[in-house]
Amino acid sequence: MRREYDTYHHMDAAHSYLVREEWVDRFALAGSVDQIKVKVREYIEAGIDELTIIPCGESRHAVIESFASEVIGKL
């Protein structure tokens, strides 16, 4: 991974092949809206009251808006 990863392009899709599936499950919110809502509920039940959002993709603003309305707004 050290040879391949370019820290100047952190979170760039070009590096997705370096990320193991178990890392996604452990360290990220990813999946359908329903899957993400389940995981957020689990966090809340575990006492977590703050999430750090690092949006990816072409429209980071749209990712945050979608998370707020489709996930948080429907819990």
Q: 59: Cβ–Cβ under 8 A, 6 or more apart, which residues?
A: none
Q: Amino acid letter at 25?
A: D
Q: pLDDT by residue (tens digit) across 18-34?
A: 888 888 888 888 889 99
Is-above-0.75 flag for pTM? Answer: no
Q: What is the structure's pLDDT at 26?
A: 84
Cβ contact 41:75 at 8 Å: yes
* Runs of H (alpha helix) within the chain: 21-27, 33-45, 60-66
Q: Which residues of the chain are under the pLDDT cut of 50?
A: none
Q: Amino acid letter at 36?
A: I
